[in-house]
Amino acid sequence: RAWSRGRRGRRVLAEYFRRELPAKRAGDGADLFSVLCHAETDEGHAFSDDEVIEHMIFVMMAAHDTSTIAASMLAYELARQPRWQERLRAESRALGKATLDYGDLDRLPGLDLAFKEVLRLHSPVAQQVRETTRDTDILGYYVPKGTLIMIGAYPMMRTEDYWRDPDVFDPERFAADRREDKSHRLAWAPFGGGAHKCIGLYFGGMTVKAVLHQMLLRYSWSVRPGYEVPLVAGTGPMPVDGLPIQLERLPS
């Protein structure tokens, strides 16, 4: 059912971008849609209409959907962990700014710890695809060059081989005196690793932290006692019930 809704949503996006594409080709805008419509190589090759549409849909999924999942699941964990919520709220208040600039991120170390931990627990991209560059073996199984490999980020970041109490929300595991993420170079890999690590690493982090900074300054929030969000696999973990959270506006 979720896959069917996703397919319908994709068709809506494709129809929208195809409808708007002629105006973008004719205009001189500086937005990404316009830039893709006018981009050319030195040899004069340009994107076809279908390629522009595919790029725009990919951007919507990669830049929006994953950040939405990360922000939602971080809000959920902080709703269940009021001590951490108050700690991060104190950080945001001490910053003395209503909105974040990129240079402010180093002044919110607790938020960074919590962000990394929620990506470990609730990886917004549940699986990653790679291709073997040479013949190899995995756990004794022969894998020839050119084989597509599906890597499960979700189970990988919850294995007891690399993480203590892996199913527990514990942002301090990323603190300088613990650094459980250094137990293996790919132990923490929500953005992949190596040469193909996602270029959205810093943009995604800034997006989620900017949203949470606003929430922390304006609201406190909670979930009912004992509540555990039911999840279904989509792009990443998707709340089946809409993730009900009780928001209370803080005194201004």
* Residue-range domains of the chain with CATH: 48-249 (1.10.630.10)
Tokens in use for 175? 């603190």
Q: Which pLDDT score, from 0 to 100, does residue 172 have?
A: 98
* 159 Rama class: left (phi>0) / alpha (psi -120 to 50) / beta: beta
pLDDT higher than threshold 80 for residue 238: yes
Instruction: State the amino acid at position 162 in one-letter form.
Output: Y
β-pair partners for 238: 232
Place of tokens 């203590």: 164
Share of the chain above pLDDT 70, in %: 99
β-pair partners for 237: 233
205 or 60: which leads in pLDDT? 205
Helix (H, G, I), strand (E, B) or coil at 98: coil
Instruction: Supply the DSSP symbol for 215.
Output: H
133-188 pLDDT per residue, tens? 999 999 899 999 999 998 888 888 999 999 999 999 999 999 999 999 999 998 99
β-pair partners for 40: 46
Q: Region 6-35: what's the mean pLDDT?
A: 94
Q: Which pLDDT score, from 0 to 100, does residue 2 have?
A: 67
> What is the per-residue burial (b if ≥16 Cβ within 10 Å, else e) of 172-183?
ebbeeeeebbee
Residues 56 and 10 sit within 8 Å (Cβ to Cβ): no
Q: Region 213-239: what's the mean pLDDT?
A: 92
Residue 37: its H or E element: helix 32-38
Q: Region 193-205: what's the mean pLDDT?
A: 83
Place of tokens 């950080």: 91
Q: Kindly indicate the confidence band of residue 119, based on its pLDDT and cuts at 50, 70 and 90.
A: very high
30-65 pLDDT per residue, tens? 999 999 999 999 999 999 999 999 999 988 777 788
Instruction: Supply the DSSP symbol for 250.
Output: P
Residues 207 and 67 sit within 8 Å (Cβ to Cβ): yes
Q: Region 80-96: what's the mean pLDDT?
A: 97
Share of the chain above pLDDT 90, in %: 76
Number of H helices, E strands in the chain: 8, 8
β-pair partners for 128: 151
